[in-house]
């Protein structure tokens, strides 16, 4: 079946612009995660949804970052007033449920803030 998809794959934003990044998880997957991966680093956790409920947003770096998953499927990560330090690859992952289930990753959105 289809894997996790993300759009756009690449986004260039001028400093101060708002951006919205979309994640389509694998159909039926309950859990959805957002990670931020800086160049040459490992991904870092941003936020977690179980269905439509955002249960953990402890990794969001500032109040400029906002995520939603209103119907428990597609999720959007929004960054307001982008800054240069927001430049990174944003990865989305989904898993069937809580527990030891594998997290399946999307291809990521590479955000460059100029």
Partner 1 sequence: AQTVTQSQPEMSVQEAETVTLSCTYDTSENNYYLFWYKQPPSRQMILVIRQEAYKQQNATENRFSVNFQKAAKSFSLKISDSQLGDTAMYFCAFMTIQGAQKLVFGQGTRLTINP
22 in Cβ contact with 7 (< 8 Å): yes
Q: Write phi, then psi, for 11 (nearest 5 degrees).
A: -145, 125
- Residues of this chain, 23-42, that bind partner 1 according to CB under 8 A: 31, 33, 35, 40-42
Considering all CA atoms of the chain, what is the largest pairwise distance in Å, rounded to the nearest integer?
Answer: 40
Q: How far is CA 6 from CA 34, 42, 49, 62, 110, in A?
A: 11, 19, 16, 22, 10
Residue 39 Cβ vs partner 1, minimum distance, rounded to whole Å: 11
Site for partner 1 in 49-88 (CB under 8 A): 55-56, 59
Of the residues 22, 44, 72, 76, which one makes contact with partner 1 according to CB under 8 A: 44
Q: Which residues bind partner 1 (CB under 8 A)?
A: 3-4, 31, 33, 35, 40-45, 48, 55-56, 59, 91, 93, 98-100, 102-103, 105-108
């Amino acid at each position: 079946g289809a894997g996790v998809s993300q759009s756009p794959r690449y986004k260039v934003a001028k400093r101060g612009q708002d951006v919205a990044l979309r994640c389509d998880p694998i159909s039926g997957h309950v859990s959805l995660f957002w990670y931020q991966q800086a160049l040459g680093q490992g991904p870092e956790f941003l936020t977690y949804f179980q269905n439509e409920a955002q249960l953990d947003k402890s990794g969001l770096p500032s109040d400029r970052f906002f995520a939603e998953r209103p119907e428990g499927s597609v999720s959007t990560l929004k960054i307001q007033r982008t800054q240069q330090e927001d430049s990174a690859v944003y990865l989305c992952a989904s898993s069937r449920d809580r527990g030891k289930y594998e997290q399946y990753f999307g291809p990521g959105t590479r955000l460059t803030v100029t």
